[in-house]
C-alpha cells in the first residue's frame, strides 16, 4: 500500500476513535419501533449534538495485538489527548504519546495531528518529521472535512449518499446501521459503514473500504467498541475497542484499552506543540 494511504488509514482510525469517544448524553428510548423509524441523518445528528459535552480528553491507552489468535508484537503503553475546536480555533488537535513501559514515566515518541498536519516525533533522538495529510493523500480540503462527522456533520451529510442498512439495524438494542457513499469519488474510501447506539449517542462500529483493482469497494478495516463508560456529566466514552484491518497474512486484531479517562480539564495548545515534546 502506498505510504500516503498507510498514513491516511492511521488517521481514519484516529477519526474513528474521536467519533467513538466524543459522544455522550444518554436519552433512553424504550420503544424499539421508534428506533426502527429513525433516519440516518437523525441518528448521526444525535451523535453530533453530544460532542459539545466534551471540550478535551486525556486517558492512558494500552495497545496489544493478536495474529490468528496468537500474541503478535509488543504491548504499547500510551497516553491519548484530544482537544475539540473552539470559537477561537476551528482546528481539532490530537496526540498519542508512547512510553517505554507501563509506568509511563519515560516518553519515547509522540504522534500529533493538528488539522491536516501530522507530526511524528522521535523524543529520544529529538527528531520531528512533519507530513501534510492533504498532499500525501491527494485529497482536497473539502474531502478532508467530509470525513469529519463529529465537527463537520453538515458537510458529511451534504457530501455523502446515506442509506439505512435495515439488515444490520437492531431496533431492540437501539442500534442503527448506516451505509455512506461519497458523492464525489476519491481514492481513499468508496464506502463507509456506520453503526450508531442511539441510546448512548455513540458510534459503536465503523467499517472502512478501499477500492480493489476493479474499482469496487473492498473491506479495509473495521473498528468496533467492546466496552463503554459513562462520565459524570453524562457523556459515554469507549474504554475498550478492537481495530481489525483486512490483510492477506491472517486475522490481525489490535485491542485498545483506555484507563483513567479525564474530560474537560482545560488542556492547553502547548500539549499539542510538536516542538515541546522533549
For the 3-276 domain, the top CATH level (class) is mainly beta
For residues 170 and 165, give the distance between their C-alpha atoms in angstroms, rounded to a whole number: 10
Closest to 132 (Cα-Cα) out of 256, 243, 7 = 7
Beta pairing partners, 149: none
C-alpha to C-alpha distances, 118 to 26, 57, 65, 157, nearest whole angstrom: 33, 19, 24, 26
Rounded to a whole number of angstroms, the distance between the first and last alpha carbons of the chain is 32
C-beta contacts of 151-156 below 8 A and 24+ residues apart: 151/51, 151/84, 151/85, 151/90, 151/92, 153/44, 153/45, 153/48, 156/44, 156/180
pLDDT recorded at residue 12 = 53
pLDDT recorded at residue 225 = 93
Does residue 236 contact residue 230 with C-beta atoms inside 8 Å?
yes
For residues 276 and 109, give the distance between their C-alpha atoms in angstroms, rounded to a whole number: 12
C-alpha to C-alpha distances, 167 to 160, 170, 176, 177, nearest whole angstrom: 20, 8, 10, 8
Residue whose entry in the numeric block shows the C-alpha cell 491507552 = 61
Task: Note the pTM of the prediction, 2 decimals.
Answer: 0.84
C-alpha to C-alpha distances, 146 to 12, 140, 184, 267, nearest whole angstrom: 12, 10, 10, 26
- Note down pLDDT in tens along the chain; length 278 residues: 444 444 445 555 555 555 455 443 344 445 565 777 889 999 998 888 777 788 899 999 999 999 999 999 999 999 999 998 776 777 889 999 999 999 999 999 999 999 889 999 999 999 999 998 777 766 666 556 555 677 778 888 998 999 999 999 999 899 999 999 988 877 678 899 999 998 888 889 999 998 888 888 899 999 999 999 999 998 888 899 999 999 998 999 999 999 999 999 999 999 999 999 98
Write down the number of H helices and E strands in the chain: 6, 13
Closest to 116 (Cα-Cα) out of 98, 86, 138, 88 = 138
Under DSSP, is residue 131 helix (H, G, I), strand (E, B) or coil? strand
How do strand 107-114 and strand 93-99 relate by DSSP bridges?
Answer: antiparallel
Amino acid at each position: 500500500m502506498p505510504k500516503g494511504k498507510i498514513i491516511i488509514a492511521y488517521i481514519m482510525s484516529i477519526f474513528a476513535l474521536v467519533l467513538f469517544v466524543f459522544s455522550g448524553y444518554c436519552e433512553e428510548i424504550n420503544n424499539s419501533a421508534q428506533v426502527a423509524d429513525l433516519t440516518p441523518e437523525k441518528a448521526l445528528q444525535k451523535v453530533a449534538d453530544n460532542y459539545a459535552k466534551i471540550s478535551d480528553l486525556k486517558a492512558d491507552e494500552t495497545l496489544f495485538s493478536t495474529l490468528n489468535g496468537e500474541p503478535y508484537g509488543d504491548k504499547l503503553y500510551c497516553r491519548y489527548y484530544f482537544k475539540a475546536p473552539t470559537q477561537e480555533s476551528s482546528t481539532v488537535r490530537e496526540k498519542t504519546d508512547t512510553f517505554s513501559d507501563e509506568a509511563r514515566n519515560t516518553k519515547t515518541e509522540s504522534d500529533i495531528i493538528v488539522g491536516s498536519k501530522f507530526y511524528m516525533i522521535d523524543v529520544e533522538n529529538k527528531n520531528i518529521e512533519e507530513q501534510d495529510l492533504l498532499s500525501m493523500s491527494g485529497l482536497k480540503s473539502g474531502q478532508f472535512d467530509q470525513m469529519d462527522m463529529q465537527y463537520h456533520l453538515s458537510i458529511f451529510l451534504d457530501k455523502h449518499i446515506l442509506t439505512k442498512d435495515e439488515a444490520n439495524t437492531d431496533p431492540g438494542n437501539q442500534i442503527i446501521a448506516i451505509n455512506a457513499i461519497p458523492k464525489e469519488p476519491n481514492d481513499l474510501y468508496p464506502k463507509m459503514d456506520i453503526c450508531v447506539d442511539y441510546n448512548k449517542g455513540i458510534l459503536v462500529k465503523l467499517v472502512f473500504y478501499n477500492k480493489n483493482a476493479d474499482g469496487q469497494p473492498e473491506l479495509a478495516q473495521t473498528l468496533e467498541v467492546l466496552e463503554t463508560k459513562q462520565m459524570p456529566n453524562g457523556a459515554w466514552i469507549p474504554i475498550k475497542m478492537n481495530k481489525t484491518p483486512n490483510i492477506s497474512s491472517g486475522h490481525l486484531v489490535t485491542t485498545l484499552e483506555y484507563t483513567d479517562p479525564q474530560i474537560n480539564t482545560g488542556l492547553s495548545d502547548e500539549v499539542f506543540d510538536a516542538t515541546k515534546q522533549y
